[in-house]
Structure 1
């Protein structure tokens, strides 16, 4: 059976079973999806299910042998199910990193960490876990220690279910990421930063990017917070709004960067991946200032063509590969 057929089969089982649990428990689809993922992982059903539901679930679960699936097949099937649930009940904090972007972030991190045998990762806004597990799948063969933070309980349960089905050990924290985190410093932080204002001005006061004239941008605070938990000379890979350095609070961000991190690269993603030009994003590569860092002579500044334009994309990828061979290898 092909990868696509495996993924489609697992998606159908997840969808049918989540829909059945949703109907019986009168619960949101995403909550039911997390629950069916847990059932698949533990290979047992809760006692309080009705006989009718148990029979249906047992029949459906028999159709797939998750342990024989590739991680990417599981991740993509789970991702499709999450996307269906998000369309059903749209909430501002429920959004998923486009698959092409997640894989591109993984490509960058694999290049950055090519010679490392062990890597520790932090996603401070893990959501449903799609970005972090996509990156972990691309780092196959390396010893990984991963941490995720999420304030939304439903999204946290989804990331837990998805990670378990893919057999990834991720330590998860249910909390506001701007509050103190109880983790050891990591090699690398990654995040698809939610754009908006952080309402707790008192907590924001402890940050360099704090805006004294009103609410502080949440994406600025999360970036600063994530880099606090990165080792000296460690890295940050953040999906940021295109206008990051042109906003009314950009001077605060510039001042923080001058003190604590160097910009290694800024990669503008194809606008076709986003709902509108206003929602378009870029990938920002940072390195925390430390003894082992050597700033590249030239930062990697790239505008990606549409992923459908393979010839143009291949040309840009070659330029990026050349940058890693010269600027990156020179640093090492």
Structure 2
């Protein structure tokens, strides 16, 4: 019986990561980064391995050439291995955007960003899954990716993820709310880190800083992203449902009125989230420029479960109709 490509590649990645984990005495995620490098370079790069482990690794790698897999097969296989490692490490900041959401963000990018070549940034890139999932939906366009991530291990996994999929992405290992030395981009996507930002001195540089106490990191991430997108550029943020109901929401409203047009708010299916309180949506913004007018009406939609084909189709038709009427 023929096994599916994603399963075949995941088995290769997983089996070799386990061998390296045991031999190097590191975590599964660290071993995953090591095996990803080996797969990319088509050779075993670690010096300190026993003869037996070296032989076993070479045999597994030779049986599964990375070049025969598509970008999406590579992304999904690597994602499965990352998810396995995250379950083991259980760090709260190690969360991954669900596949269906990444693909839907890619669909929205395709509908809104009409350029054939553009620059796309994710200021909270994590392992690169959302960024590469979206880029894989835009295969006929030339996209230069930019990913920023403060966590050393996550950005290493993102870099390997991008290399294996052959995506041109520049990575910056830093706090995204520090000054960014990045040329303005055409679009931003981000699954926003939600919570308080501990650095009050840095937060003071932002209009969306809290009047007292810590500021919301997700508000500052949005302001930083708006600063770094070109006039007329689009931003697609995965946001908590209560974004406009918090005690700092008034400031956010005022900032948006000054700097962006709200294009749409799309509610993600509640079934995707553990609790109603943790449910999220997608906020679509466009940075103001003189020639632009706001949409006649904001696109508002509730996504059904992504497994419900006909209802999803209805919503996509509604989005298409809205774009035809508002984005001439």
* Match status 1:28 vs 2:27: yes
- Structure 1 length as normaliser, TM-score? 0.96
Number of matched residues?
327
Aligned to 2:152: 153
Q: Which runs of 4+ in 1 moved over 3 A?
A: none
Structure 1: which 5+ runs fail to align? none
Deviations 1:200-251 (A, max 9, x none): 0110011111002110111111111111110011111000001100111111
8 A contact 1:234–1:287 mirrored in 2: yes
SS in 1 for 2:4: helix
Aligned to 2:232: 233
Q: In 2 relative to 1, CA 292–19 (structure 1 residues): closer, same or farther, beyond 3 Å?
A: farther
8 A contact 1:118–1:144 mirrored in 2: yes
Distance in 1 between residues matched to 2:12 and 2:290, nearest whole Å = 51
Aligned to 1:99: 99
Deviation of 1:293 (Å) = 2.2
- Structure 2 length as normaliser, TM-score? 0.97
8 A contact 1:151–1:174 mirrored in 2: yes
Deviation of 1:305 (Å) = 1.2
Deviations 1:135-171 (A, max 9, x none): 1111112111110000001100100111000001110
The within-5 A match list for 1:1-332 is: 5-45=4-44, 46-113=46-113, 115-328=114-327, 330=328
- Cα RMSD over matched residues? 1.3
Distance in 2 between residues matched to 1:48 and 1:169, nearest whole Å = 31
Distance in 2 between residues matched to 1:203 and 1:143, nearest whole Å = 35
8 A contact 1:123–1:147 mirrored in 2: yes
Distance in 1 between residues matched to 2:312 and 2:130, nearest whole Å = 21
Deviation of 1:253 (Å) = 1.0
Distance in 2 between residues matched to 1:144 and 1:105, nearest whole Å = 15
Distance in 1 between residues matched to 2:172 and 2:241, nearest whole Å = 29
Distance in 2 between residues matched to 1:19 and 1:255, nearest whole Å = 51
8 A contact 1:233–1:291 mirrored in 2: no
Deviation of 1:317 (Å) = 1.4
